[in-house]
Amino acid sequence: MSEETIQRYVETIFELEKKSGAQKRIHNKQIAEALEIKEASVTEMLQRLEGENLIDYQPYRGVLLTDKGLELGKKLHRRHRILAGFFKSLGVDSQTAETDACRIEHVVNDETINKLSSFVDFIENTTDFHQTLQHFRHYDSTGEFLCDADS
């Protein structure tokens, strides 16, 4: 299994744990439904994740993320949030932004994510952010620049 597949499982378990509350075991069926795969495919992967100390897996009782798995889950969740937020701020529809963030978060370098996070924080906290975003959206839809006097 690829590193991306491992990350998808860990992130899915992280999200399911977050929804269900702390220290509640997540069952194979929940993971299968979330990933839109067959339940039988989940068991093999859970055994691998346990071997890498990312989860505590007990057959028929479910899984919990270990500290190592929780750390990875938080990292992936942060990456996803940064990427999806950035795409949405550009005007990408929510579903596409979420789908693209899911794909990209597994391959983008930590340095790139950190710079993107810093950039988004910077532009969101500038006084003319909304005006700049309005100008960008106009340019994106028309190919024309707005003059400051026109805004």
- Is 0.75 topped by the overall pTM? yes
One DSSP character per residue, 106-146 reads: TTS-HHHHHHHHHHHHHHHTSTTHHHHHHHHHHHHHHS-PP
Nearest-angstrom CA–CA distance, 90 and 123: 12
Express each pLDDT in 13-66 by its tens digit. 999 999 987 668 999 999 999 999 999 889 999 999 999 999 999 999 999 999
How does residue 151 score in pLDDT terms, banded at 50, 70 and 90?
Answer: very low
pLDDT digits (tens, 9 = 90+) for 88-122: 988 899 999 999 999 999 999 999 999 999 988 88
Instruction: List domains and CATH numbers for the chain.
Output: 3-71 (1.10.10.10), 79-144 (1.10.60)
Q: Which residue, chain included where needed, has tokens 């930590």?
A: 110
Name the helix (H) or strand (E) containing 15. Answer: helix 3-20
Residue pair 25/64 in contact (Cβ under 8 Å)? The answer is yes
List all residues 6 or more positions away from 62 whose beta carbon is below 8 Å from its beta carbon.
25, 26, 27, 28
Is pLDDT above 60 for 148? no
Distance CA 31, CA 9 (A): 8
